[in-house]
Amino acid sequence: MLAGLRARCGSSSPRVRLRGRPGPGFCDGGALAEVLARHCARALWIFGALLAGTLPAAGADDAERWLERMGSALRTENYVGVVTYVRGPEIDSVRVVHRVAGGREYERLIHLNGQPREIYTEGARSVYLQPQGATIAPHGVSLGPFTRTFHDNLALNRNLYDVTVGSAGRVAGRSAQQLLIRPRQGDRYGYELWLDQSTGLLLQSVLVDGGQILEAFHFATVDVGGKLSAQALVSTLPEDSEVHVLSDGPVEGGAAIPSRGDSVAESPSFEPGWLPDGFMRVRLEARDNHLSYSDGLATFSLFVEVAPADEMPDLVTKVGGTVMVTQRLSGSREQVTLVGELPAATAKRVADSVRRVER
């Protein structure tokens, strides 16, 4: 088709001849042919761009439509594949099986590196499984935008981020569209997402701090939209494996409700005097002075304890997108530790603001 269009618009096209003398507002045959050639070149560029999917973004409405498609695909599509996760020096691979049946979601994450372990989710309930005697403490997998609540939480904090449509490309052998999510202030991270052009499924997520890549998830292989039987979700671990409940359901804002019955209504002994816009407390263990905060996309935890005799020096360390700040609480014997997904300067400002709550 392109070859035919070139044949009609190229230099081999017959030269345009005009009879008589051109009047005002007309051009001669050579000039008219040049104008037509320019228009044909422009038409060729547009046509080729449409085929390649590389036309510039139309605007914010396009970005919103892509976000809607992403949120829907993560919940409604059947897919199975291998996700590779790079975080600082850590590299991990996880097999993902996601099935929707009767309006209910079922998902199993199977770690392919290190000690065998899995996370199984049915509806709003998630459990962590590992063989008897395993030495790894039960914990979830921080999959960022791959989580089902990412789209909803971004919508709740839409005023804190700019979302634009980027370029077209390929991920895991599939045509993909890039979305750029940038914080309007420099107090949190941004994301570069690649979505499947056919279904809207998230294929790749890159956590960025300005121009620096901190973490990356991407499907190395993935099949989308096929039929999956319940057999595809069967565990690969022994039947006597340990089972630990990670969450029983979501609270407002999309954060998980811990299974141990923790409450956000208790009164903490310590709390930060400053938080980045959009962050709210989602978990509190008052007896342990452990507080967790989230804006729906990023999460961090605060721990306050009596400083040990061999207390750690004040320090700020970072692995991938996770930062840890440890320092003596001003004017007290306590030590505050912050661990979470924040830029170091933001985390330090939060830690500096922690004070004892006067009762």
Q: What is the CATH number of the domain that holds 308?
A: 3.30.200.100
Structural contact between residues 251 and 265, judged by C-beta atoms closer than 8 angstroms:
no
**Is residue 300's pLDDT more than 90?**
yes
**Is residue 7's pLDDT more than 80?**
no
Packed helices 2-9 and 29-52: angle between N→C axes, nearest 10 degrees: 170
Cα 29 to Cα 34: distance, rounded to the nearest angstrom: 9
66-89: pLDDT as tens digits: 999 999 998 999 999 999 999 888
Q: What is the pLDDT of residue 143?
A: 64
Distances (CA, A) of 15 to 2, 22, 34: 21, 16, 10
Q: Do 306 and 340 have their domain in common?
A: yes
CA angle 293, 344, 141 (to 5 degrees): 50
- The mean pLDDT of 185-206, rounded to a whole number, is 95
**Is residue 213's pLDDT more than 60?**
yes
Coil/strand/helix, residue 81: strand
Q: Do 199 and 171 have their domain in common?
A: yes
Distances (CA, A) of 24 to 15, 30, 37: 21, 16, 22
Q: What is the pLDDT of residue 141?
A: 64
Tokens of 266: 């208790």
**Is residue 11's pLDDT more than 80?**
no
Q: What is the pLDDT of residue 286?
A: 63
What residues contact residue 174 under an 8 Å CB cut-off, 6+ apart? 196, 197, 198, 203, 222, 224
- Is residue 262 situated within a structural domain? no
- Is residue 257 situated within a structural domain? no
The tally of domains found in the chain comes to 3
- The mean pLDDT of 328-341, rounded to a whole number, is 88
β-strands 174-183, 190-196 pairing:
antiparallel
Among the residues of 135-289, which ranges form H helices? 150-156
43-64: pLDDT as tens digits: 444 444 444 444 444 466 899 9
What residues contact residue 34 under an 8 Å CB cut-off, 6+ apart? none
Under the banding of pLDDT at 50, 70 and 90, the label for residue 170 is very high
Under the banding of pLDDT at 50, 70 and 90, the label for residue 336 is very high
Q: Do 38 and 119 have their domain in common?
A: no
Q: What is the pLDDT of residue 151?
A: 77
Which of 139-148, 218-227, 350-359 is least confident? 139-148
Domain boundary among 197, 232, 247: 247
- Is residue 98 situated within a structural domain? yes
The span from the first CA to the last CA of the chain, in angstroms, equals 77
For residue 172, which of 201, 150, 145, 208 has the smallest C-alpha distance? 201
Q: Do 113 and 77 have their domain in common?
A: yes
Cα 192 to Cα 173: distance, rounded to the nearest angstrom: 18
Q: Do 34 and 103 have their domain in common?
A: no
How many CA atoms lie less than 13 Å away from 346 in the CB half-sphere? 21
Q: Do 176 and 69 have their domain in common?
A: yes
**Is residue 13's pLDDT more than 70?**
no
Q: What is the pLDDT of residue 47?
A: 41
Cα 318 to Cα 323: distance, rounded to the nearest angstrom: 4
CATH number at residue 236: 2.50.20.10
Coil/strand/helix, residue 287: helix
**Is residue 239's pLDDT more than 70?**
yes
Q: Do 21 and 104 have their domain in common?
A: no
Q: What are phi and psi of 250, to 5 degrees?
A: -95, 150
Q: What is the pLDDT of residue 23?
A: 43
Q: Do 239 and 352 have their domain in common?
A: no
Q: Do 159 and 110 have their domain in common?
A: yes
**Mean of pLDDT over the chain:** 79
**Is residue 93's pLDDT more than 60?**
yes
Which residues span the domain enclosing 73? 60-247
**Is residue 207's pLDDT more than 90?**
yes
- Is residue 36 situated within a structural domain? yes
**Is residue 136's pLDDT more than 80?**
no
Q: Strand locations in 38-89, DSSP E?
A: 79-87
- Is residue 103 situated within a structural domain? yes
Cα 119 to Cα 83: distance, rounded to the nearest angstrom: 14
CA 246 to the chain's CA centroid:
21
Higher pLDDT, 145 or 12: 145
**Is residue 261's pLDDT more than 50?**
no
For residue 299, which of 217, 207, 212 has the smallest C-alpha distance? 207
Q: Tokens 């721990």 belong to which residue?
A: 303
Higher pLDDT, 8 or 190: 190
Q: Do 224 and 160 have their domain in common?
A: yes
**Is residue 148's pLDDT more than 50?**
yes
Task: Tell me the helix, strand and coil percentages in the chain, rounded to 5.
Answer: 20, 40, 40
Under the banding of pLDDT at 50, 70 and 90, the label for residue 41 is very low
- Is residue 264 situated within a structural domain? no
Q: Do 194 and 128 have their domain in common?
A: yes
Under the banding of pLDDT at 50, 70 and 90, the label for residue 358 is confident
**Is residue 90's pLDDT more than 60?**
yes
CA angle 259, 261, 263 (to 5 degrees): 125
- Is residue 258 situated within a structural domain? no
CA dihedral 244, 246, 247, 252 (to 10 degrees): 170
- The mean pLDDT of 325-352, rounded to a whole number, is 92
Q: Do 81 and 120 have their domain in common?
A: yes
